[in-house]
């Protein structure tokens, strides 16, 4: 069902849970949003191992994406929250996260973890996440 993307936004966004994703189009979305090359080739294998994912579309264009990885049990991990720059600040990212959390819960996850850079803390806190202590080991 189409949902308005936000006050003042021109687009009407349709959200899809676990729908087929064109990996080249996903790579192009991530490249536009993150500024790093992404040819899309890795996505089929990533999504095959994912618990769930959500996409956002305006007409035929992929405008947003979020992936939920998991440990096969109670813990799920929000990854790759991405909104095309032309659709940012319209509620698309928050709706992607909300739908990902709902889907993960329905699929049996008890906890949804997310790592983020400090400048994104307000966004993730507005989505209901609370800061926790965590450790990180760089492997490469």
Give the pLDDT of residue 7: 39
Domain carrying residue 55? 2-126
Higher pLDDT, 52 or 8: 52
What pTM was computed for the model? 0.89
Using one digit for the tens of pLDDT, what is the confidence trace for 56-108? Answer: 999 889 999 999 999 999 999 999 999 999 999 999 999 999 999 999 999 99
Question: What was the pLDDT predicted at 138?
Answer: 87
Tell me how many domains the chain contains: 1
Q: Is residue 138 domain-resident?
A: no
Q: What is the mean pLDDT of residues 108-129?
A: 95
Rounded Cα gap, residues 100 and 112, in angstroms: 9
Residue 24 lies in a domain: yes
91 domain residue, yes or no: yes
Residue 88 belongs to a domain? yes
- Domain with 78 in it: what CATH number? 3.40.630.30
Backbone angles phi, psi at 75, to 5 degrees: -105, 125
Q: Return the pLDDT at 3.
A: 42
Mean residue pLDDT across the chain: 91
Q: What pLDDT score does 137 carry? A: 85
- Look at residue 57 and tell me if it is in a domain: yes
Residue 101 within a domain? yes
pLDDT category of residue 8 using cuts at 50, 70 and 90: very low
- Please give the helix or strand (H or E) that residue 58 lies within, else none: strand 52-58
CA 100 to chain centroid: 7
How many helices (H) and strands (E) in the chain?
4, 6
Q: Is residue 37 part of a domain?
A: yes
Residue 120 domain flag = yes
């Amino acid at each position: 069902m189409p949902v308005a993307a936000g006050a003042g936004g021109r687009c009407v966004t349709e959200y899809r849970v676990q729908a087929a994703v064109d990996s080249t189009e996903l790579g192009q979305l991530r490249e536009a949003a993150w500024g790093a090359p992404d040819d899309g080739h890795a996505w089929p294998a990533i999504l095959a191992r994912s618990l769930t994912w959500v996409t956002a579309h305006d007409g035929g264009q992929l405008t947003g994406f979020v992936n939920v990885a998991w440990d096969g049990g109670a813990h799920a991990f929000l990854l790759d929250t991405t909104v095309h720059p032309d659709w940012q600040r319209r509620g698309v990212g928050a709706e992607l996260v909300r739908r990902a959390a709902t889907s993960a819960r329905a699929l049996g996850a008890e906890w949804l973890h997310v790592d983020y850079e400090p400048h994104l803390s307000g966004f993730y806190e507005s989505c209901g996440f609370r800061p926790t202590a965590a450790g990180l080991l760089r492997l490469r």
